Amino acid sequence: MERLVIDPVSRIEGHLRIEADFNDGVIKDAFSSGTSVRGIELIVQGRDPRDVWAYVQRICGVCTTVHALSSVRSVEDALDIHIPRNAHLIREMMNETLFVHDHVVHFYHLHALDWVDVVNALKADPAETSRIAQSISDWPKSSVGYFKEVQNKIKKLVDSGQLGIFANGYWGHPAYKLPPEVNLLAVAHYLEALDWQKEVVKIQTIFGGKNPHPFYVVGGMATPIDINSDTGVNAERLAYISQLIDEAREFVNKVYIPDLLAIGSFYKDWTYGGGLNNYLVYGDFSTSDWKEVKDYRMPRGVILDGDLSKVYDVDPRDPEQIKEFIDRSWYTYDGQRTGAKHPWEGETTLNYSGPKAPYKNLNTDDKYSWLKSPRWKNKPMETGPLARMLVGYALDKEEFVDIVDSTLKKLDLPISALQSALGRTVARGLETVLISNWLRNDMDELLKNIKNGDQTTFDRTKWEPSTWPKQTKGVGWMEAPRGSLGHWIEIEDGKTKNYQAVVPTTWNASPRIEDQNVGAYEAALRGTPVLDPEQPIEILRIIHSFDPCLACAVHLTDLENQKMTELKIG
Ligand code: NFE
Ligand code: MG
């Protein structure tokens, strides 16, 4: 048995380390470790619950809006605050915009190069690339001259010996299967998507005042709608958002999805990376209030062992359902090295017991990660786009069934093929289509409301802490791009007593509790053949298909002293 270490796994957010044992070219077992830790759950203790969103939003700059949304939801749940309709619609659109932005950026900039050989695009005939482009889409940038120009750009990079954003790829690896012409098409769209992504986030910038980390407020949104004003969110800004939404949908439907299917069709026999086949979705995108589960456009549920005939209910409030284990994580609970707690009882006590740097290997027989291990009814779960597509499909939601069935038909694949790395990547594209449609619908509804004279975005009825109960607790759940997210808050005397975030990547990248109870990454890697251990592209394909965000998953510490700085704010 040989142990392979990839640290850090690149083209992700945060620090992820994979240690994989393999034998005869096949991964027998794998260990996923988050190697940095932050203290954001601790920072907010004792603070005003109305301010917490602004702190926890800094958990991540990639899913730049979700922690604020989960946080205000948790406080509003605890205080029974209901927000105005416009605020609900704007919050939905903030998240929908994030999904569309995040998924496109993930596909082109974080994941595509596991499937697309950039250097091989130099061998392409641009006329043939142009023909292929026009056969799969009516996206206007498709001339022979355009693809020649892109090819020249790549050639300049390669000739200079400095590949820049394309450096350190495994170019020429036999696992790359695309013809040169399709590689060229994908690289062209990689560059176009870089430009496009800075446009779509303007929707968040306008509604939320800035991006990354737009503004929220407990009780609604801090969005100053006044259609007759010269400033703020006026008629002109709203028309601009509408235009950005249409442009975003056009890019998704004419570039992202055709590319996804074109690339996917060459990798149909690469069926690895499924893994757990247990899927968890809290659900979200309600057409009424966020807690109205029956009105979710993205439905809630759990699927076990890949059995789509049964969908189990999920309740983030139930202490028997959601627990975080620390058996293999560098924490203690009540001074003990093992155990499990529901987030309302949760505890963040750092207790590093790993090797001293520099080290060769982690002690994977004991604790080996800063991530805790969240479990549903003690079972490990995958969360994210694949889980959401499968739960929507299993519950017979029309939009989900239609898009999944038509895509599988185009690719000539059975539904079971989705339970793989490539299937996860396809599922992410399909949900982008659904969510970009909802983005359009929500904007239309907001415009209708405004036209009817409603410009309210904030309700201050329960703004004053004197109106709050002495003690209360709440949970804000949602779907974030990488999966189900929950923030649990306990409020006492107007202050935050305890705060716990359980994040999508914590579910997916969690360490095992025991060898039969491993997280989604570890399960997905087991049994995968690796052609060349010096260039483990197979591991990247599988891990990247989850779109890891370790910054989110381990929400600073000096490894020796456990405490790096103490800030006194007067
Ligand atoms: Ni930092 Fe995040 C998302 C959250 S993590 S990216 O999506 O929450 O898995
Ligand atoms: Mg946490």
Q: How far is CA 195 from CA 138, 203, 250, 435, 549, in A?
A: 19, 15, 14, 21, 23
SS3 state at 506: helix
Q: Is 482 in the pocket of ligand 1 (CB under 6 A)?
A: yes
Q: What separation in Å is there between the alpha carbon of 453 and the centre of ligand 1? A: 36
Place of tokens 């306008």: 206
Q: Give the pLDDT of residue 549.
A: 94
Query: Distance between CA 216 and CA 351 in Å, rounded?
Result: 34
Q: Is 552 in the pocket of ligand 1 (CB under 6 A)?
A: yes
Q: Give the pLDDT of residue 557.
A: 36
Question: Ligand nearest 40 Cα, by number?
Answer: 2
Q: Which two tokens stand for residue 348?
A: 């963040």
Q: Give the pLDDT of residue 558.
A: 40
Q: Is 485 in the pocket of ligand 1 (CB under 6 A)?
A: yes
Q: What separation in Å is there between the alpha carbon of 131 and the centre of ligand 2? A: 50
Q: Is 60 in the pocket of ligand 1 (CB under 6 A)?
A: yes
pLDDT of the chain, 570 residues: tens digit per residue: 899 999 999 888 889 999 999 999 999 999 999 998 888 999 999 999 999 999 999 999 888 899 999 999 999 999 999 999 999 999 999 999 999 999 999 999 999 999 999 999 999 999 999 999 999 999 999 999 999 999 999 999 999 988 888 888 899 999 999 999 999 999 999 999 999 999 999 999 999 999 999 999 999 999 999 999 999 999 999 999 999 999 999 999 999 999 999 999 999 999 999 999 999 999 999 999 999 999 999 999 999 999 999 999 999 999 999 999 999 999 999 999 999 999 999 999 999 999 998 899 999 999 999 999 999 999 999 999 999 999 999 999 999 999 999 999 999 999 999 999 999 999 999 999 999 999 999 999 999 999 999 999 999 999 999 999 999 999 999 999 999 999 999 999 999 999 999 999 999 999 999 999 999 999 999 999 999 989 999 999 999 999 999 999 987 334 444 443 333 443
- Ligand 1 atom at shortest distance from the alpha carbon of 14: 1
Question: Ligand nearest 347 Cα, by number?
Answer: 2
Q: What's at 112, amino acid-wise?
A: A
SS3 state at 202: helix
Q: Give the pLDDT of residue 164.
A: 83
Q: Give the pLDDT of residue 565.
A: 36
The best mutation among 103, 543, 549, 550 to test binding of ligand 1, ranked by most ligand atoms within 8 Å of the C-beta, falls on 549
Using the 8-state DSSP alphabet, how is residue 128 labeled?
A: H
Q: What separation in Å is there between the alpha carbon of 568 and the centre of ligand 1? A: 30
Question: Ligand nearest 546 Cα, by number?
Answer: 1
Q: What separation in Å is there between the alpha carbon of 46 and the centre of ligand 2? A: 17
Query: Distance between CA 117 and CA 110 in Å, rounded?
Result: 14
Cis bond upstream, residue 358 (ω within 30): yes
Q: Is 13 in the pocket of ligand 1 (CB under 6 A)?
A: yes
Q: Is 225 in the pocket of ligand 1 (CB under 6 A)?
A: no
Torsion angle, alpha carbons of 431, 432, 434, 440, to 10:
160
SS3 state at 56: helix
Q: What separation in Å is there between the alpha carbon of 382 and the centre of ligand 1? A: 14
Q: Is 503 in the pocket of ligand 1 (CB under 6 A)?
A: yes
- Ligand 1 atom at shortest distance from the alpha carbon of 102: 7
Query: What value of ipTM does the predicted structure carry?
Result: 0.95
SS3 state at 538: helix
Q: Give the pLDDT of residue 366.
A: 98
Query: Distance between CA 174 and CA 156 in Å, rounded?
Result: 24
The best mutation among 60, 74, 432 to test binding of ligand 1, ranked by most ligand atoms within 8 Å of the C-beta, falls on 60
The best mutation among 11, 40, 57, 62 to test binding of ligand 1, ranked by most ligand atoms within 8 Å of the C-beta, falls on 62
Q: Give the pLDDT of residue 560.
A: 45
Question: Ligand nearest 382 Cα, by number?
Answer: 1
Question: Ligand nearest 346 Cα, by number?
Answer: 2
